Amino acid sequence: MANTIELKVTGLDCPNCAKSVEKGIAQLEGVQSCELNFTTTNLRVKGEVSRDAVIDRVRALGHDVAADALGAESRSVGSSPVNFFHYLWQRSEGRLALLGVLLILPGLIFSELAQLEHWLIDLTSLGALVTAGGPVAASAWRSLRLSREVTINGLMTIAAVGAVIIGAYTEAGMVMVLFALGEALEGYTSNRARDSIRGLMEVVPNQATRLQRQNGQAQEERVKVTDLQPGDLILVKPGERIPMDGLVQAGLSSVNQAPITGESQLVEKTAGAPVFASTVNGEGVLEIEVTHRAADNTISRLIKMVEEAQERRAPSQRFIDQFARYYTPAVVLLAALVATIPPLLLGQPFWNPDENTFGWLYRGLALLVVACPCALVISTPVSIISAISSAARQGVLIKGGAYLEALSRIKAIAFDKTGTLTAGRPSVVALRSLNCQTTSDSSELCSPCGDVLALAFALERRSEHPLAHAIVAEAKKWGVQERYAAGEQVQALIGKGITGQVNGQQVLIGSHTYFDQAVPHSEQACQAALADAQNGYTSLMVEAGGRYLGTITVADTARESSREALADLKQAGIQHLIMLSGDHRTAAQTIAAKVGVTDIRAELLPEHKVQAVQALQKQYGPVAMVGDGINDAPALATAEVGIAVGGATSQAVETADITLLGDDLRRLPFVYRLSRATMRTIGWNVLLSIAIKVGFMVLVLLGLSTMWMAVAADMGTSLLVTLNGMRLARYGAAGRS
């Protein structure tokens, strides 16, 4: 029976190394499929093959397997390298490259610059070739023998051996030294990009204060977070980072959740509120019940999901990978033709005729060097991994490079209304009494309106109904929650309202429909309630002692960030912003006017939302869908890019391609701009790589470039495109890198 083996491979300097390992493992008997992702270094092998056989083949190809994958203690050399020299010194091939640098200096100074010749200079150059080029040639042979392919290392080895044959010893040594340094530099910068998301783990404490109650007293104990189990109680003091996911059991504090959600404002936490590992506690002491193990907490899941996302290659990356597969053999053939056609058909010199003129064999060898596709191959994955990591740090989870690329092509965005453009929970928008009228945003509350609100609070304070929560929040906002004692003999009138005794009198809170049937009220109050209904609001009428007192108007309000986010999207280039809602048109139009959408599709069932997305695709082209509920999942799956907002249902998050971890829609224009910036960066990297290649190919064919100049140009290009891609890791919420 086929099994799946998962390992982490070390020592990968460039995507070509990963491809070579893939092909080498694929040659093993019993292997059905093999995939090694360069950005995450994750290796997955399926088939009837042993784990030891796979590890042996990885090592035979010149790489190794991470210690944690072996179930052994770490075998890494020291800590993460702090600079490029440290990185070189940690690796045997790096130390050989440094020795090669010392040995090539006499040839560079005396032979290339001073034009002096001596057999000792040639000897040091050959020494540089052997020391720096030995690992390169060994890797080329392993790939040829085990993977049955000619790699970039093979191209360099052929070029260096050819240079020795024609007597260009210094150039042969220089090519190998520069190439070895270039490969190491690629590995160093790639590791920097690869580990950027891992920096999130650095903010998670390794220890926590566990509380254990004995004989009625709480005992504090410092323990490792890995020892904590769900149900344990931990203590977090002011200013400390919260070490585990959990629920607040006691205490009141404000928490900075930016490491998880990216939101800049502090979030108040009271009993029952959820908290996340790595967030920062504010001014209060919190007692927290652990809800997840350390390996399963939010920050760990975030990192795992981002790593999985980095393995989903964008179409541009797959194209470049396929291109590179056929590119290297084509270069070998082209170099052979360049070296042989002019001498055979045109009578041109095959060997170098003099010191100032290059023969066609030399030019063919130089072409092998300049055609090395390192810069082209590494340009895309570094950009993708940097962008995904940057998004994660801003509270946006992108499930793969393919979705990042698709987002950059979006022409229209459809939004669910409730819970996406709106807060998804009702709040009081107006208070009306017989003698006064107060809006929710008024600076003062008149006494009659305050009394209506206080009576309603006395009845609703213990109710779990969403409308009751709105009344409770409003009463606390105006400070009238203590005016009356809690209601007695409170009874819910199903479909009608709620009634009970408050301060010795019978109080009733009900719908306008019920009041029309049971409680007399003025024509003015009736018309105001009808106007509320037309605007999509809910009118809660209040009666005490058989007399109508006033109305509390409740509605689902637009998110504070919605208008700003949609305006920013328009500025970023998205001109078609459509709201999809199951509510009637009047309620949808009220919210639409507040947030600034360009079109409305109302009274939609879930299947109608799918049809609406399909219609938008035909009208505008690629469409993104933003939603949060179960009923949004089909539309999220239909759109080119599905985006779930914070607090979304698990079905919506599972279906979506991108998830905003907080409920701030202003992250949407950020991630759209990030996608555009990523594709621009990839485009410039590819263009730069090809332009420099073509330019040096022309110089080589004209006999105006040496081999070591070509490899130096290739190394410089690889470094340039890598650093350019890594800029995306610092792409900020303001939309600029």
Active site residues: 416
Q: At 431, is the secondary structure helix, strand, or coil?
A: strand
HEC states along 223-257? EEHHHCCCCCEEEECCCCECCCCEEEEECCEEEEC
For residue 591, the surrounding DSSP H or E stretch is: helix 585-595
Distance CA 656, CA 633 (A): 8
- What span, in angstroms and rounded, lies between the C-alpha atoms of 580 and 605? 10
Q: Distance of alpha carbon 612 from its chain centroid, rounded? A: 29
Measured distance between the N- and C-terminal CA atoms of the chain, rounded to whole angstroms: 50
In the block, which residue shows the tokens 């490491």?
259
Query: Judging by beta carbons within 10 Å of its beta carbon (0-12, 13-18, 19+), is residue 421 exposed, middle or buried?
Result: buried
Buried/exposed code over 332-364 (b: 16+ C-beta within 10 A; e: otherwise): beebeebbeebeeeeeeebebeeeeebbbbbbb
Contact at 8 Å (CB) between 493 and 510? yes
Q: How many CB atoms lie within 10 A of CB 585?
A: 14
The DSSP 8-state label assigned to residue 118 in this structure reads -
Q: How far is CA 81 from CA 76, 88, 189, 200, 383, in A?
A: 11, 9, 11, 18, 22
Beta bridge partners of 287: 235, 250
Rounded to an integer, what distance in angstroms lies between the CA atom of residue 625 and that of residue 610? 10
**Which residue is it, tokens 């949060």?**
628
Residue type, 420: T
Phi, psi of 158 (to 5 degrees): -60, -45
Tokens in use for 611? 């049809």
Residue type, 107: G
- Per the rule left: phi > 0, alpha: psi between -120 and 50, beta: everything else, 537 is beta
**Whether 363 contacts 701, CB under 8 Å:** yes
Q: What does the angle CA 118 – CA 120 – CA 126 come to, to the nearest 5 degrees? A: 110
Q: How many CB atoms within 10 Å of residue 469? A: 16
Angle at 314 between CA 154 and CA 664, to 5 degrees: 140
Helices (H), 347-464: 360-370, 374-393, 401-407, 447-460
Q: Tokens standing for 342?
A: 């002019």
Residues near 18 by beta carbon (within 8 Å), at least 6 away in sequence: 9, 12, 36, 37, 38
The CA distance from 126 to 133, in Å, is 10
